[in-house]
Structure 1
Amino acid sequence: MNKIPLTKRGAELLRAELHKLKTVERPSVIEAIAEARSHGDLSENAEYDAAKERQGFVEGRIKEVEGKLSNALIVDPSSLDADGRCVFGSTVELEDENGNTLVYQIVGEDEADSKAGRLSVSSPIARALIGKFAGDIAEVQTPGGVRELEVVDVRYV
């Protein structure tokens, strides 16, 4: 299986989610199943069906998160030395064609949140930025046409 790039922060978030799934969600589902079973006939027991469905979701998510963590390539942005080049984990300050300033960190897919300024490495903007230096222009294909973004600064924080 391929390595999954994650920032240090992203790996911590996945570990926290895994801990919550195992210590809070799983016991809660087990309790709900036991409660539903105590009501008798399971063939027409909606509570039991819902609890079993929830159990499947929780167990599936636990396996998914464990798999991602076991295949994670954890990148600490502060230890990067990319000579000013835009790479995974870097924070990029951009200026669009209207003079607006945008700041994004390029992160793994699980930690992406565009409202918080974290772009997935597989997003069109991030793909256009990878390898660029301050002063370069990145052309990004959007539904409204091609946008030009100037790379103002690249930081590793």
Structure 2
Amino acid sequence: MSVAFTKEDSAATASETLLPDRPISPHPNLVTEAGLKALQQQLRQAQDAYEAAQGIEDVDERRRQGALPLRDGRYFAARVRTAQVVPDPTSAENVAFGSTVTFRRDDGRVQTYRIVGEDEADPKAGMISFVSPVATILMGKAVGDVVTVSGQEIEIVAIK
């Protein structure tokens, strides 16, 4: 085997194993209690996957298999370390972090979302980030308030 071929393999392996860090939001890392537990679980999964990869005999394959869990482990460790747990709201008078808000759009659609941390957000599951445009505008509002989001009016019909 030529030295050049070995270097190409090493370069390819290096590019596959030196993954850039996942971007971390500049916003405060607010989370619900469930959100913190989910971050801790994701950190454990990344650590377990990395440990499993370390058992692979071939060094290049070990590096390839360990690259993603190593990167994810760094991300989730930082997110767990900086997490600020926000207790569930004690009042349903105004929209707050952790509130579940139901609103009616001016086209008649009724939607319900819980306002949660960035890592918890999953609009398909009814959870939006507190820094999303809709959540930002809804924060502090009450039932009956009408606000404009992206040129469309929405009316808050319930807060839980």
Tell me which interval the TM-score lies in, with the shorter structure as reference length: 0.7 to 0.9
* 1:6 lines up with 2:15 in the alignment: no
Contact 1:2 1:71 in 2 (8 A): no
Q: What residue number does 1:128 align with?
A: 137
CA shift in 2, pair 1:67/1:115, >3 Å: same
Residue by residue, what CA displacement relative to the aligned partner does 1:104-149 show, whole Å, maximum 9, x if unpaired?
Answer: 00111111111111001111111111111100012111xxxx1111
Runs of 4+ in 1 over 3 A off after TM superposition: none
Contact 1:137 1:150 in 2 (8 A): yes
Contact 2:92 2:159 in 1 (8 A): no
Q: How many residues align?
A: 135
Q: Unaligned stretches of 5+ in structure 1?
A: 38-47
Q: Which has the higher strand share?
A: 1
Q: Report the aligned-residue RMSD.
A: 1.9
Contact 1:93 1:101 in 2 (8 A): yes
Q: What residue number does 1:61 align with?
A: 72
Shift of residue 3, structure 1, vs aligned partner = 4.1
Q: What residue number does 1:87 align with?
A: 96
Contact 2:32 2:98 in 1 (8 A): yes
Q: What residue number does 1:43 align with?
A: none
Residue by residue, what CA displacement relative to the aligned partner does 1:79-105 show, whole Å, maximum 9, x if unpaired?
Answer: x23561111111001111122211000
In the superposition, the TM-score normalised over structure 2's length comes to 0.76
Percent pairwise identity: 27
Q: What residue number does 1:72 align with?
A: 83
User: 1: distance between equivalents of 2:95 and 2:65?
Assistant: 41
Q: Unaligned stretches of 5+ in structure 2?
A: 1-25
Residue by residue, what CA displacement relative to the aligned partner does 1:45-94 show, whole Å, maximum 9, x if unpaired?
Answer: xxx1x5414423212211211111111111232xx235611111110011
Q: What residue number does 1:140 align with?
A: 149
User: 1: distance between equivalents of 2:104 and 2:133?
Assistant: 16
Q: Amino acid of the residue matched to residue 110 of structure 1?
A: D
User: 1: distance between equivalents of 2:50 and 2:78?
Assistant: 18
Q: What residue number does 2:8 align with?
A: none
Shift of residue 2, structure 1, vs aligned partner = 6.8
Contact 2:32 2:116 in 1 (8 A): yes
